[in-house]
Structure formats: structure tokens, C-alpha cells
Amino acid sequence: MTSTGPRLQCLYPDAGTRALELEGLYLDECWRAGAVPGPEGCFVYANFVASLDGRIATAAEPGGSLEVPAAIANPRDWRLYLELAAQADVLLVSGRYVRELGAGTAQAGFALSGDAPADLLNFRARLGLPPRPAIAVLSASLDLPPAPLAAVRRERPVLILTGAAADGARRRALEAHGCEVVVAGQSTVRAAQLLPELAARGLRYVYAIAGPEVLRTLVVAGRLDRLYLTTVFRLLGGDRFATLLTGELLPAPVALRLREAYLDQDGGPAPAQLIQVFERVWR
């Protein structure tokens, strides 16, 4: 493992007492033991990078695709994104992301694919995990291109979670490419139904990287256990953007507790940023 630049300053819980290397921050072999599963037997965590004004994705023009802005995307945050993937049993992604992969417009392929850092694969091997986490796709419509799923199916399991009303012909086409299709809701996919399906397959540590719509599904259902958020110290503006959550106000505010915070700055061309970890407040 090589250094990625300056050290982090720990702000919480041990403010001012230690500095840490960024690489390896989330590669604690006891991480999973300390991540207590929820009622369905899954521990669900999500990760985002955002600007100071809350943009996680922007579009260059009206009707254009939303993408993580180059002004906040950076290799240091990406390294942490991959480290969190290294802890996962399964990556929870959206149908939209799979369609972008099929169209060649996705910003990156599935985490820990062929270009995965060797130290992360070695870490998983030490834990007795498969080389790569499985993929779980949320798609009520099953409007998914089979090619990217067939390609990733050669290196890891692919599970597609859909609603009972999904098109039968689309389901059969995906199953013909080796994907397992499971009903986890009616017209939409429900968190309380998808998580038992994952747990039953031994996929208990769930890394949700599917965007704000899926995050909302998890939050409303009370199934988000931990949120990793990197806030880049840049203001972007604009009126074509996505933020962490979409839709109407939540039925009730969801309380989170700060678990860890690190200041990452003086990184040369890399932007200064605050790395934060929040966990659900259990009542």
C-alpha cells in the first residue's frame, strides 16, 4: 500500500490527538464485527461526496445526465469509496446506473472490478471474503441492458430486485444471462422486503451506492445504519443538480449521530475536504 499524500487530522472523537494516513482508514479487520446488523440481519451503509452547497451531481445542460462534478471528484475520496466496497458483501446499485453502463455514459464501472487495487483484494482474502462483492440491482421496471450484467456476472453474483408487476419477458431475458431475479415489493422495491432476500443469501453487509432515490427508500424505511459523507470545500451553484435525498419532506426527521470526522487538506491539487461518518440513532 502506497501513500496517497498528506495525513488526515482526526477531529472526532479524538480531536487533535492523532494524524492518520488516508489509505487504510476503513480497512480495519474488526470493522464488520463492530457493524451491528439491523432487524433483517443486514448492516446497510451509504457513501456520498458533496460540495459545500450540497451538490452530489450536476448536469451541464437542461435534460443532460447528472454526474459527479469534476470539481469535487478526487482520488482521495475515491480511495475511501473503494475501501468501503472492500468491506461489503454486496453493492446495492440502481437500474439507472446499469443503463448508463450499457450506454457507455457511467463515470466508473462496478467497484473492485478488474482494476481493483491489489491491497483491497488481499484485504478481502484475509477476511475470507470472495474477491469481489456481489451486485444487487434495484429495478421495478427491469428495463436493463443485459450486456453489462452478463459481463460482471462472470466475476461475481448478480441479483436483481424488482416488483411483482415487472415485465415477465424482461425477467426471463435477464435470467437467461445468469442473473437471479427476486420479487421484493409490488410496483416498487421495498427495503423491508429486499434486505431479508439479501440476508438469506449471506449478503449481510450492504453498501448502497445507488443514488438519492435508493437512499430515500432506505431512510424512509429506517434501514440506513451508517452514512459516510465527504464534504469538499467548494461551492458549485447551478440549478440542475441532485442532493442526498429527493422527493417530499420525510414523514419525520431522521436523526444521525456523528461517529468520526477527519480533516483532509494541504493535498496539493486535491481539494480540501471533511470526511464524516454518521450512524443511525437507535431509540
Q: What is the mean pLDDT of residues 72-85?
A: 96
Q: Which residues of 88-118 are buried (b: 16+ CB within 10 A; e: fewer)?
A: bbbbbbbbbbbbbbeeeebeeebbbeeebbe
Q: Which residues of 168-189 are buried (b: 16+ CB within 10 A; e: fewer)?
A: eebbeebeeeebbbbbbbeeeb
In a domain, 32, yes or no: no
In a domain, 11, yes or no: no
Q: What pLDDT digit, counting tens, does each position of 217-260 carry?
A: 899 999 999 999 999 999 999 998 999 998 899 999 999 999 99
User: How many angstroms separate the CA atoms of 39 and 282, rounded?
Assistant: 12
Note whether 163 and 239 are within 8 A (CB).
Answer: no
In a domain, 8, yes or no: no
In a domain, 26, yes or no: no
Indicate the range of 74-88, 133-147, 264-278 predicted with least confidence.
Answer: 264-278
pLDDT of residue 189: 87
User: How many angstroms separate the CA atoms of 161 and 228, rounded?
Assistant: 24
In a domain, 239, yes or no: yes
Dmax (CA) for the chain in angstroms is: 59
3-state secondary structure of 270: coil
Q: What is the tally of structural domains in the chain? A: 1
Q: How many other C-beta atoms can be found within 10 angstroms of the C-beta atom of residue 197?
A: 19
In a domain, 240, yes or no: yes
Read off the CATH number of the domain in which 199 is found.
Answer: 3.40.430.10
3-state DSSP: the chain helix, strand, coil percent, rounded to 5?
A: 25, 25, 50
- For residue 96, give its domain range: 39-280
Q: What is the mean pLDDT of residues 248-275?
A: 90
pLDDT of residue 78: 95
Q: Does 7 or 71 have the greater pLDDT score?
A: 71
Q: What is the enclosing helix (H) or strand (E) of 178? A: none
pTM score = 0.93
Note whether 232 and 75 are within 8 A (CB).
Answer: no
In a domain, 218, yes or no: yes
In a domain, 92, yes or no: yes
